[in-house]
Structure 1
């Protein structure tokens, strides 16, 4: 088992694969798995400062695609639930909030702990797909941009020092 983990870690080593690693980590972190992608983005940029914008854009793309997968998982879950249950579910505060704001609520998909499930709930509620994708992208791009700039400011090293 240890050999498999070591080979996986060497495959995902930032200096060797760079942007593809950032994409994969950002994609996985946007699903319901508890993985943070910010360290991968920050690490790549610290090692290769010229990759600031490509890293932020690739992380945004990977994270948005992961959010889309979560949206469709929620959509499929809602369809399966409706086939099994013939009654309307109780509306929680989140559901009421989502109904009020609609697809614009996906701007909050960048938030830790609640952002990824929010994408799933948007799919479950069948909010319009493309507007949700647009708002997810804006929120996730803003998060990567702000968090990376803040981390670079806190640990300037070779970039922005």
Structure 2
């Protein structure tokens, strides 16, 4: 399984920005995938960090909104049967999200819980534009942090290392 994931990640890396978008869309959906690796490698290979963050954020939002639409179009029983999301988890999330609304889409970047939040917002028929916008902002901030550490922190660590040990 790891070899297959590595091959798929390598393919997305070879595709550049479109590959990053697709990998992020998969990661944002119910498919377990690590788009962060693709992002880091592409930035290290010289792709523009700003465009990379933008493409990753857009792709991850598309993936997250696919979870929203699974909830919007589906039934709680479908989420249980096909996506292995327990009914009790959805009910608990609905109670938690009650009154907080679409802005909770911001937390769609969280592993596992992000998909459940998005599906629950779909079940609850939250405002699509607010959900997508808040989800995009959360995912954008997450990718900015990853890109920052990829670009700037790595240079700082290398400089410190060479100053004291080089």
TM-score normalised to structure 2 length: 0.76
**How far, CA to CA, are the matches of 2:35 and 2:16 in structure 1?**
13
The match for 2:110 is 111
Match of 1:45 in 2: 43
**Residues 78 and 125 of structure 1: is their aligned pair in 2 closer, same or farther, counting only changes over 3 Å?**
farther
Q: How far did residue 160 of structure 1 move?
A: 9.8
CA RMSD for the aligned pairs?
2.9
Aligned to 2:73: 76
C-alpha change, 1:41 and 1:74, in structure 2 (3 Å) is same
Rounded to whole Å, the distance in 1 between the matches of 2:93 and 2:46 is 40
> 1:160/1:32 Cα in 2 relative to 1: closer, same or farther (>3 Å)?
farther
Q: 1:133 corresponds to which residue?
A: 132
Aligned twin of 2:91: 92
Q: Which has the higher helix share?
A: 2
Deviations 1:19-69 (A, max 9, x none): 0110010000011111111111111001015x1011000001111111111
Judged with a 3 Å threshold, the aligned counterparts in structure 2 of structure 1 residues 10 and 55 are, in CA distance, closer, same or farther, namely: closer
Name the structure 2 match of 1:28. Answer: 26
State the alpha-carbon separation in 2 of the partners of residues 160 and 103 from structure 1.
Answer: 43
Once the two structures are superposed, residues 97-155 of structure 1 have per-residue CA deviations (whole angstroms, 9 ceiling, x without a partner) of 21121011111111122112211111011111111011001101011001221233443
Structure 2 unaligned segments of length 5 or more: list them: 79-86, 161-166
Q: 1:68 to 1:9 in 2, by over 3 A?
A: closer
Map of 1:84 onto structure 2: none
Structure 1: runs of 5 or more not aligned: 82-88
